[in-house]
Structure 1
Amino acid sequence: MRKFIPFLVLNFFVLSSIAQTLTTREMDRINWMEFAEFVPEKIQTVLLPTGTLEPHGVINNGADNTAPFAMAKDIADELNALIAPTLNYGMTGSMANYPGAFEISEEAYSLFIRDILKGLARNGFKNIIILNGHGGGQTAVLQKVAGEIANELQVRTLVINWWSYASDVTLEVFKEDGGHAGLNETAYIQAIDPTLVHQDRYNSNQATAYPKDKSWSAVPFPSSIGLYQEGQGYPNFNQEQAEEYFQKVNKKVLALIEETIAKWDLAGL
C-alpha cells in the first residue's frame, strides 16, 4: 500500500493546482463549481459589457456590443475580473427605425439592468464595472441605476463610456475628432475583426455632423455616421492606426478601473 502514497500525494497537488487555474473569464462559459471556487474569495471584480443594435455606417449593427466585449476580454486578466454576458439590447433612440435596429424602452431597460446588477452583487462581486458601448439616454439610466445599487447593496460601481473617455486618444492617434461610427469607432472594430468592416460600401454622403447648438433634431437621424465636428471623423485610417487605437484605448480604460478600485480600497469603502 505504501508504494502508492507518493502517487496519491502527487495527484493531490496536481488536482489542487488545476483547481486554482481559471479555465475562462467568461461567466457564461464557466461552471457553477469553478465559479464558487473563485468568487468572491479570489475574484471580486466583474466587467459587464452593455450596448445595443443600431446602424453604424460600414461596420456591424452590433458594434456597440462587439467593442466593450472585446475590451473586457483584453483587460480582464490584468484586473483579475470575470466577464458577465453582454447586454446586447439597449435604448437605441434616434436610429431605432433603421433596418436591423432594436429599441428597448427606458422602463424595461431600467428594470432589467437593475436586476442584472443585483444578481452580480448577490453572487459576491464587490466591484461592478459597466463597459458601456452605447450613449444617449442609456448612459443616464446606467449611471442612475448603478449608483442606486451601489448604495443599496454596499457594492462599488463604475460606468464607463469608452469612446468619450478616450476622446483624447482619438485626437492623439488620428489628429482629429471622431463620431458615432466615425473613424474612432470604425477603427476599434477594424482592430477586433476586419471582416466586420465593409469599406467598399462607404461614401462621404453617409455622414452628418451633430448640431452643436441643438438648433435642429431629426428622428430618424439622417445618417448612420454622426460626426462630432464638421469635416472630421470620416472613417479613413489604416490597419496600423486601428491596432494602435485599440491598444491605447484599452490601456486608458484599464488605468481608470485600476485607479478607481485602488482609491475605493484606500478609503475603506
Structure 2
Amino acid sequence: MDMMTMNLTDFKKIQGKINTVLVPIGMIEAHGPHCALGTDVLIPREFVRRLEESIGDKVLMAPEVTYGHSWGLAPFAGTIDISSEAFSAYVYDICKGFYHNGFEYIILFNGHGGNNSSLDIVTEKLADMGVKSLTVNWFIDYREDIKRIAPDPGHAGEDETSLVLAINENYAYTKGVGSHEIPLPKRFRFKDGGKALYPEGFSGNAEEATWEKGEQLYDLLVGKVLKDIERFWSL
C-alpha cells in the first residue's frame, strides 16, 4: 500500500489492520562518473515496487528518506551530506510518528552504507520504546549471494550499477568506466579521506555491470528480503 497516494479515509481504514511500515532510506551522493546521484534512492524505490507485488496488502510503503549521512563521499561534488546527529534524530522522529500511528513493526530499507551507524542508534532507541524493527542493508546482508551474480561489487560497482541499469539504462553507463579497489581499510580516517578510499567516487568493477545482472539480482534479493520479513513477523 502506497502511503504517498493514500488519503486520510484510506489511511484510517488500514490502522489496526496493518501493523508494519516499510521506510526506504537513501542518499544523494556521487556514484562515480557513471551512475545517477540518486542511486541509493532509486534502488530501494525499485525494491519497494517489487516487494509490494508480494506483501503490499500487509505492509504500508512509506515515502523515502532521500538524504543521509556520507562522510566518505562528502569531498565529491553532488554529495549532499547530513550530519549523523541530524540524520539519526530525523529518522527516529519519523519512526516514532509511525509507532504513534499504530505501526509496531518498522522496516528500514537502507540503500546507503554511510547511514548504517546512525540507523543502529535509531533502532536501539526504538527497541527501548517497544518498537520491533528490521534494518535491511541489501549490499551487506546478502553480499555473498550478490557475488555469485556480480563478482566485483562496490560503491557504484558491478552490483549497484547493474541494479540501476535494470531500472533505467539512461541512469548509468559502463563503457570506459573501469574498476577501482579501495586502497586502504576504512578504519583509517583523515581529512578528505574519501578521495583516497574511492578514486573517482566509486569502487568495484562497474564496467562489468549489465541490466541482465541487475534483473537477476532483483529476483534473487527480493526473495531473500521476503524471507527476512517473514522471520521478522515471528518476533
State the TM-score, normalized to the length of structure 1: 0.78
208, 215, 222: which is aligned to 1:250? 222
Secondary structure of residue in 2 paired with 1:94: coil
Show CA shifts across 1:89-114 (max 9, x none).
11011211322210111221121111
- Tell me the distance in 1 between the aligned counterparts of 2:79 and 2:138: 21
Aligned to 1:186: 161
Contact 2:169 2:211 in 1 (8 A): no
Unaligned runs of at least 5 residues, structure 2: none
Q: Does 2:44 align with 1:68?
A: yes
- Tell me the distance in 1 between the aligned counterparts of 2:62 and 2:226: 17
- Tell me the distance in 1 between the aligned counterparts of 2:214 and 2:21: 27
How much does 1:173 deviate?
1.3
Secondary structure of residue in 2 paired with 1:33: helix
Identity, % of aligned pairs? 28
- Tell me the distance in 1 between the aligned counterparts of 2:186 and 2:23: 33
- Tell me the distance in 2 between the aligned counterparts of 1:242 and 1:110: 30
12, 21, 25: which is aligned to 1:36? 12
Larger RCO, structures 1/2 (Cα 8 Å, 6+ apart): 2
- Mapping of residues 1-269 of structure 1, within 5 Å: 25-41=1-17, 43-57=18-32, 58-79=34-55, 80-136=58-114, 138-152=115-129, 154-174=130-150, 176-200=151-175, 202-204=176-178, 207-212=180-185, 214=187, 218-222=192-196, 223=199, 224-227=201-204, 233-262=205-234, 264=235
Secondary structure of residue in 2 paired with 1:87: coil
Higher gyration radius (CA): 1
- Tell me the distance in 2 between the aligned counterparts of 1:210 and 1:37: 53
- Tell me the distance in 2 between the aligned counterparts of 1:147 and 1:96: 26
Change (3 A) 1:177 1:238: closer
Show CA shifts across 1:182-233 (max 9, x none).
0011111111222211234x4226x342424856765242421123xxxxx3
Aligned positions, number: 228
Contact 1:50 1:68 in 2 (8 A): yes
Contact 2:178 2:207 in 1 (8 A): no
Secondary structure of residue in 2 paired with 1:157: strand
Displaced runs of 4 or more, over 6 A: none
State the TM-score, normalized to the length of structure 2: 0.89
CA RMSD of aligned residues (A): 1.9
Change (3 A) 1:211 1:241: same
Change (3 A) 1:212 1:108: closer
